[in-house]
Structure 1
Amino acid sequence: MRTYKAVFSDIDGTLLTSEHIVSTATIEAIVSLQKKNIPFVIISSRSASCIYPILKKHHFQCPIVACGGAWIEDMNGRILSNEGMSRQTAATVIEFMTEKDFDLAWGIYSGKNWITNDRTDARILHEESVVEVESVEGTVTLLPDDAVVNKILCMCNPACILQIEEDLKEAFPTLSIVKSSSYLLEIMPAGMNKAKGIRKFCETIGIATEDSVAFGDNYNDLEMLHAAGCGVLMGNAPAAIRETFPGKVTLDNNHDGIPVALKDLGMI
């Protein structure tokens, strides 16, 4: 059996149950890995500031790969990587979406900053309640001229999201635009994804990406799952993904899918 040296986990639909908590069995699995000096790394489209509440609530520390791979920090909070688009590029995208009058709300993630366009919008209020962090209402001009924008998050009307995605991809072919749920679109620099994030993290700790395990449940996790030595899909993933996924499929996020798979792999 292969010896894996790092574990990466998506958050929503993977690490967290539908009640937005980390189960006791999963916490015990994380602790077990850490005792063996195997990093358990949270990797998410969320910003770092929207990941910290999970660590605080469940009383553990771990490295973070945030904003879909653009922001990386070690378990002590030291920044290892900070990539993204320019403030001007982000402003151009926002202007385009405003002119098109898309049915969406947006958020800009830059480092630990989270700026949204309308904090009275129910979609933004919902996102704030999920991540347990309040955004700052404003525009990209709140950021310094030389700021790096790690990601733009679009919270769309599900009935319109595919058309919005198509229009954005046509207007901005140099950006990476990916659907991460029935209503969320992630806009990042070209080539930025979770696969790049795990490769970069593995490089910083001196291991091969093939020596890692990755857990995910949605479309924006697929590149990461294929890049890892062992990609594990959660049982609650959309049926279209489960039916074609060539790797391992574990139980869903409400039935300890992560620790069950780690036991199967002989890691805990």
Structure 2
Amino acid sequence: MKPLSSFKPQAVFSDIDGTLLTSEHVVSPLTSSAIHTLTDQGVLFTISSARSPSGIRPIIKKNDFHCCTIAFSGALILDEDQNILYEKGISISDASKIIDVIEKKCPHVTWNVFTSEDWIVKDRTDPHVIHEETIVETTSIERSLQSLSDTLMVDKILCMCDSEYMSPSETLLRKYFPELSIARSSDSLLEIMAGGINKAEAVKYLCDLRKIPLTSTIAFGDNYNDLEMLEAVGCGVLMGNAPSELQKHFSFVTKSNDQDGIFQAFKELGVLN
């Protein structure tokens, strides 16, 4: 929804990759300044990402943001001091079953397992893993799921593959695990979380906790795993670099992440006036 006049939000939620960050993986000065202006006015700013907390913290630190964190597309919510407010994951036994299907049925897919603090992979030399480590500025660990404690919770399983394998892999995994939340975060990344997990539910949980009406919120995103969040808030803003199929369904499409899309949307909405 796009307001017809100036909009004064009580909370702003933003995805990271393709949204808050430019293609150079930095927050632009205009966007950073706008966010600081709003938080100085008491607006709640929350980063809402498929990333792990360890992949989000460098962004918070570099930009001196005072914000909450929605990690793993909603499976984990942290307050401004990185205390856990909410967590819902997949059991080790269920995660093992998912990995087994991936290895047997999706040979072109690289799997990754995330707990609240660790990023576990089968092979750190995998090109997909190396590329992801560079982007998120954190390090994976080579371990097997069997080596993990049964009491540990898996917040997310990430599937990496070349884009031509994405659709068939997604279709197969949805068929095998209809009870789970499965969403693309890019044309080469597929997120698997516990059932009922998405960014919208996390936004609702945090707003309820902070007594903020959803009608007084703005959210920014650029991909399919942002869809529910953008539809749940008072003003959902899609980035200009989003897939064309998504853009067909949104009335408010701002500039791209490389054209200060967040800042431009704030200007158009009268948020910074």
Fold agreement, TM-score > 0.5: yes
Greater relative contact order (Cα < 8 A, sep 6+): 2
1:169 aligns with 2:174: yes
Q: Deviations over 1:5-61 (max 9, x none)?
A: 100000000000000000000110111011111011100000111101112222323
1:142 to partner: Cα distance: 3.8
Q: Would the aligned equivalents of 1:102 and 1:164 in 2 still touch at CA under 8 Å? A: no
Q: Which runs of 4+ in 1 moved over 6 A?
A: none
Residue 250, structure 1, aligned to residue 254, structure 2: yes
Which shifted more, 126-135 or 51-60?
Answer: 51-60
Q: Counterpart of 1:159 in 2: which secondary structure? A: helix
Q: CA deviation at 1:181?
A: 1.1
The counterpart of 1:99, out of the listed 87, 98, 104, is: 104
TM-score by length of structure 2 reads: 0.94
CA distance in 2, matches of 1:3, 1:157: 41
For these two proteins, the number of residue pairs brought into alignment is: 267
Residue ranges of structure 2 left out of the alignment (5+ in a row): 1-5
Does 80-89 or 93-102 show the bigger shift? 93-102
How far has the Cα of 1:83 moved from its partner? 0.9
Report the Cα offset of residue 242 of structure 1.
1.1
Residues 72-151 of structure 1 mapped to structure 2, 5 A cutoff = 72-151=77-156
1:2 Cα deviation after fit: 4.4
CA contact (8 A) 1:216 1:233 kept: yes
Match of 2:184 in 1: 179
**Pairwise mapping of residues 65-76 of structure 1 onto structure 2 (< 5 A)?**
65-76=70-81
CA distance in 2, matches of 1:180, 1:76: 26
1:3 positional shift: 3.2
**Alpha-carbon deviation of 1:229?**
0.6
Gaps of 5+ in 1: none
Counterpart of 1:23, as a letter, is S
Q: Does 1:153 align with 2:170?
A: no
